[in-house]
Structure 1
Amino acid sequence: MDTDVLVVGAGPVGLALACALLQHGVSVRVIDKAAGPATTSRANFVHARGSEVLDRLDALEELAQESVRAMTITSYAGDRPMMRIRFGDPGLGTAAPPMVISQARVEARLRERLAQLGERPEWGAGLVEARQDTSGVTATLGDGRTIRAAWMVGCDGTGSTVRKQAGIGFPGVKVSERFLLVDGRLDGDPPLDRSGTSGWTHPEGMLGAMPMPGDQWRLLAYDAAFTDDKPSQEQIADHMRRILPQRTGLSGLRLHDVTWASLFSVHRRLADSYRAGRILLAGDAAHVHAPFGGQGMLTGLGDAENLAWKLALIVAGLAHGPAATRLLDTYQAERRPLATAVLRGSTAVTKVNIAGSPFGRLLRDQVLMRVFNQGWIQRWTTYTTSQLWVSYRRGPLGTRLGGRGGKPRPGDRVGDLACERPDGSPTRLHAELRGTWAVLGDGPAAEAVFEAARRRLGDRVTRLRPAGTTGRPAMLVRPDGHLACKGGPAEVTRWLDGALG
């Protein structure tokens, strides 16, 4: 084999997957058909769950320092504020609250981390054919080169070549909802508030303005009347300049120094399967939906982390035989239901935002806006969009395998708890989950659990003590921050035997 895993696509999902696999000691190559990295992007929001994934990849700190913490969304009808939603940390022990930052900058930081781990993307290396057999996959590139890998993962977006080569269906629709995106500077008297996002409802379509790093603004507008199929960036920017004062009611608001403009149509699609033999899918190659809610990159980062530790166990020979196949199948079992829920939710939010009928606008402006002004609704919104609620309890590695008991239950996310290393130095749980498992507990029972885990996982497990004495059962925590099981060495051994064979 030329490599253990060939990752196709050097976007945020492919880069995160490659970093996670390298943390686990798996050899990786990353290829991308583009001539070089993107400098602009449509996605520009990272929720708390995404911050956690980046933290466990050791790629968060610089991004958190650079990001804009614009944690409010204020909706207007003309110059009249109608609703204000406040986002933030839901208080669930996260590494960082939501961040406003360009996906292009997230990708740049992940490339830096990938280089620290010893790899770099191979640009201008487009996949044209993938042939698999019982031992691996042979990838043929556009220049005639071939790469032999034990596994291939398609992180190559909506038009995924990997997915097509694997013969995996991608049912869904490309709908008529078209949006204009423009990055530039805004001047006005009074100036727009950069402490949060502003949005305006209008009979011809909504318009939003989000503050970005470097005194930039991201403008987004729904405009069914803009019918040009392939407009230039200047045409898009000119149209945005025209509708900006009309939609906002702010005659003095001016757009200038445009750095990027784009037009996109919404797709809603979900892959029939996340795996065909030794070929797997992650991110937009597996699921794509409307942009509202900032769920796309977030869901893809979760895919990457979930898949990485499972592939690593198989590559290392720690999961083998039929159990290895079952373990790999848990990737789809755990992640595809979430993508289904995200697709439904983003579709509903889009329909509310672009409501065109008089009844739809009345429902949105007079009913939903008042509901979303309630504090408990806003806390629920923060919690929901963060994806910190995601649990795999009902999956094959959840409570059916790991037992029940009190919270957290097997499959649940474990918060970023304050801990101590064996030498007594302070740390955080998620800071230690960088390509490793963790046994968290105190006393002789936890030591016995640690030894039981080491017998199956070797040096891939670390020993931690909770800050303070808890007296609670020891927990075996997966590398993605979810609880594998808890209890004594017998419970841990039973879970590992069931998961790994």
Structure 2
Amino acid sequence: MNTDTTEVLVVGAGPTGLALACGLRMGGAAVRVVDRAAKPATTSRANILHARGAEVLDRLGALGDLPRRGRSALKMTSYLGGRAALTMRFGDVGLETARPAIYISQAEIEAALRRRLAELGGDLTWDTALTGLSQDGHGVTAQLGDGTRIRAHWLAGCDGAHSTVRSLSDVDFPGVAVTERFLLADVHADWPLDRAGGHGWPHAEGPFFAMPMPGHGDAHDRWRLMVYDPEGEGDLGPAEILDRFRHLAPRRTGRNDLPIRDAVWTSVFRVHRRLATSYRRGRVLLLGDAAHVHSPLGGQGMVTGMGDAENLAWKLGLVLRERAAPALLDTYQDERRPLAVEVLRGTTTATRVQTGRGPLTRFLRERVLIPLVNLPPVQRRFTQVASQLWVTYRRDPLSGGITSRFGRRPRPGDRVPDLSCGRLDGVRTRLHAELGGRWALLVPPSGAEAYVEAARTSLGDGVVALTADHHPRDDVWLVRPDAHLAWRGRGGTDGLRRWLETALGQGRARPRRWSSPAGGGEDPLSR
């Protein structure tokens, strides 16, 4: 039997797997992506990419014209008693350097990532299921459904909530059910509703949502509908789901002018929250929905998975080039798993508020929360939370476990905005445009050479020196490829060298922060 070889085998060609593959290729790694689906998806659940996700695509060189083809001015109008009671506006995250959220289909995002992966020379194979894997101290052997084998140094499971990689690696995935049945459908409908945003109708029996689907041609009459339908039992086919929407639309909205012609795509789902007890099992790593699943309300799934991918890509690239010990990969879980806990908590709370049918929940939702969310400061806060631009790793090992609220900002672990910069040859540029798999040194105009030499000695040639506008004099910043501050200091290169030695530490063991809960079946959010 023939055995192919690669450095990293990525299982799953969704946004997470494709983003990881692109990030690894930008660092020079040999990557192969396989997916059990026969071909790329043309329909998708996700249709919003928050600011953090747009930044990841930009740094990967995959953003392209998605902002132009999507919609960046987002809003959601909620109705009570037939009247608009709340208009929630997204997009203003309070940061001039942040990219706005984009309302666009996941299928188009995946297509953009596939194009970028092809440009980078990545290998993607469809209709190829993973059926078995084994690993030793040197690599992983993957058995595929067509009978072939692949030998890889590392394997990344990006294959969704029902991950084969997670199952074959014996990683527990505890969690709980959050709600009963939701129905989802993309439909053609000539509705007299504003297509500049979405619409939601809280109701005693459960909410009804309608979002315009951006696109071309007949997509201008396409809407995505979602309704909480907890009373239904049994499996429903596409025709039955469409009938339920036709029945529930006037009942939940109070309107009789919302006819539905036909459905393009339908789905049934129940909301669960689950979190893998470990993101790494030897040479196997889990990302995206394979590591964490939660409610789709809030649109946090895609942006969280792509953040996982960008975080892991530069770390795995250093390990592959033998510039860092494998223990660096433990910091992927240290940094990303706590974020997943926060996302699961937030989306669970939002879902229970939306679907709660008790009198107290309805009173809080309609008489307290809706008036509160109408306040502009509250709307900005919600947008900032959804954007994930707030994510920081300052409490984690690579940043020194900083917990103080005081000190200069940004602090190690914080996201660095997309600053206006200049290269040392005087060419104007942006910080995030210079990352793209590389590290950036923000340095004073003089004395940059010593810092560049120190960084390149440990990190290789993928280090660029920049001068930032209005940058503190003599302050030097080392910015990671995922735009988080790795180190800052002044007065010579000794501090930088020490940080690099500690962070990359060849062969240096480091205790793990997370362990599996006793019995492996505990809800990760109950601790």
State the secondary structure of the residue aligned to 1:459. Answer: coil
Q: CA RMSD in A?
A: 1.7
1:236 maps to what in 2?
Answer: 241
Describe the superposition over 1:74-96 as per-residue Cα deviations: whole angstroms up to 9, x where unpaired.
11024211112111131324452
Distance of 1:267 and 1:481 partners within structure 2? 31
**1:332 match:** 333
Note the C-alpha offset of 1:175.
4.4
Can you give the 5+ residue segments of structure 1 that lack an aligned partner in the other structure? none
Question: 1:172/1:400 Cα in 2 relative to 1: closer, same or farther (>3 Å)?
Answer: closer
1:468 to partner: Cα distance: 5.2
In structure 2, what is the Cα distance between the partners aligned to 1:268 and 1:402? 28
Cα displacement (A) at 1:61: 2.3
TM-score relative to the length of structure 2:
0.91
CA distance in 2, matches of 1:209, 1:335: 32
Number of the residue aligned with 1:114: 117
CA distance in 1, matches of 2:240, 2:415: 46
Q: Distance between the aligned counterparts of 1:302 and 1:14, measured in 2?
A: 11
Specify every segment of 5 or more residues in structure 2 that has no aligned partner in the other structure, as ranges.
506-527
Paired residues for 1:281-430 under 5 Å? 281-319=286-324, 324-400=325-401, 405-430=407-432
What is the aligned partner in structure 2 of residue 275 from structure 1?
280
Contact 1:454–1:461 (8 Å) recurs in 2: yes
Do the aligned residues in 2 keep the contact of 1:401 with 1:498 (CA within 8 Å)? no
Change (3 A) 1:70 1:401: closer
Could you say if the C-alpha distance between residues 416 and 486 of structure 1 is closer, same or farther in structure 2, counting changes exceeding 3 Å? same
Offset of residue 258 of structure 1: 2.2
The residue type equivalent to 1:412 in the other structure is D
Q: Is the 8 A contact 2:20 2:309 kept in 1?
A: yes
Name the SS for the 1:61 alignment partner.
coil
Query: Does structure 1 residue 247 correspond to structure 2 residue 252?
Result: yes
After the TM superposition, which residues 180-259 of structure 1 pair with which residues of structure 2 at under 5 Å, given as runs? 180-188=183-191, 191-214=192-215, 215=220, 216-229=222-235, 231-259=236-264
Instruction: Quickly say closer, same or farther: Cα 1:408–1:448, change in 2 above 3 A.
Output: same
Q: Deviations over 1:268-311 (max 9, x none)?
A: 10000000100000000000001111111110000000000000
CA distance in 2, matches of 1:125, 1:358: 50
- Pick from 465, 468, 477: which aligns with 2:467? 465
Shift of 1:370: 1.2
Write the letter of the residue equivalent to 2:360. F
Residues 406-456 of structure 1 show CA distances to partners (whole Å, capped at 9, x for unaligned) of 000000000000011222111110011111000012233433222211111
* 2:461 counterpart SS class: helix
3-state secondary structure, aligned to 1:114: helix
Partner of 2:20: 17
Deviations along 1:157-198, whole A, 9 cap, x unmatched? 11111111111110112444221111123324xx10111111
Q: Following TM superposition, by how much is the alpha carbon of 1:469 offset from its aligned partner in structure 2, in angstroms? A: 6.0
Instruction: Work out whether 1:160 is the aligned partner of 2:163.
Output: yes
Q: Counterparts of 2:99 and 2:178 in 1: how far apart (Å)?
A: 35
The answer as to whether partners of 2:97 and 2:419 remain within 8 angstroms in 1 is no
Structure 1: 4+ residue segments shifted above 6 A: 401-404
8 Å CA contact 1:48–1:97 kept in 2: the answer is yes
Q: Deviations over 1:218-262 (max 9, x none)?
A: 111111122232x11121112111211221122111122421111
Deviation at 1:405, TM superposition (A): 4.3
Same amino acid, percent of matched pairs: 55
CA contact (8 A) 1:90 1:379 kept: yes
Aligned partners of 1:356, 1:402: CA distance in 2, in Å? 40
Residue in 2 aligned with 1:31? Answer: 34
- Assess, with a 3 A threshold, how the Cα gap between structure 1 residues 401 and 148 changes in structure 2: closer, same or farther: farther
Between stretches 274-283 and 31-40, larger displacement belongs to 31-40
Q: Which amino acid aligns with 1:225?
A: E
Please, which moves more after superposition, 252-261 or 52-61?
252-261
